[in-house]
């Protein structure tokens, strides 16, 4: 997935790398030819909004299934055995939230599919990401959705 004006789900950065299958990540390939990189860059430049530079990402974590504050949306989850019930087995008991109401019109965010789409935003598409939002094993589980701010 390459996208601009998209909040990624892991680190607080504004670009998301190509999604690579677990098998491909275990055996990294050689760098793609320059012509292929240029072609992909041109495709992305035509397909998506420019990155919203200068937007400060506001993040907080809460216990899973706790009340999500107004203006915030779930972008990932994680296991933490020291809080939120202190589970002694892997269960994604902490939600990672990002503030969505600070993003400019036209911005796109990757969020957990289970999160309600906020007013003034539109769901664009859904996809599978084995590294986020519950970490589903099946590619048929569309656990991530892209939302776009309309107003």
Angle made by CA atoms 113, 119, 123, in degrees to the nearest 5: 40
Q: What percent of the chain has pLDDT over 90?
A: 61
For residue 50, what pLDDT band results from cuts at 50, 70 and 90? low
Handedness of CA 132, 62, 68, 92 (dihedral sign): positive
Q: Which value, to the nearest 10 degrees, does the dihedral of the CA atoms of residues 14, 92, 126, 15 take? A: 10
Average of per-residue pLDDT across 40-53 = 69
Say if residue 118's pLDDT is above 90. Answer: yes
Q: What percent of the chain has pLDDT over 70?
A: 72
Q: Which pTM value belongs to this model?
A: 0.65
- Say what the pLDDT of residue 5 is: 35
């Amino acid at each position: 997935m390459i996208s601009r004006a998209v909040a990624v789900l892991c680190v607080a950065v504004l670009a998301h790398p190509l999604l690579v299958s677990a098998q491909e990540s275990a055996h990294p390939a050689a760098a793609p030819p320059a012509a292929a990189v240029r072609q992909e860059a041109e495709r992305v430049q035509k397909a998506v909004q420019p990155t919203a530079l200068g937007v400060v990402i506001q993040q907080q974590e809460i216990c899973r299934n706790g009340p999500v504050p107004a203006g915030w949306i779930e972008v990932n989850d994680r296991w933490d055995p020291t809080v939120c019930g202190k589970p002694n087995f892997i269960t994604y008991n902490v939600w990672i939230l990002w503030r969505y109401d600070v993003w400019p019109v036209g911005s796109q965010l990757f969020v957990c599919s289970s999160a309600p789409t906020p007013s003034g935003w539109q769901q664009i598409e859904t996809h599978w990401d084995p590294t986020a939002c519950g970490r589903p094993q099946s590619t048929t589980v569309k656990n991530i959705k892209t939302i776009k701010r309309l107003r």
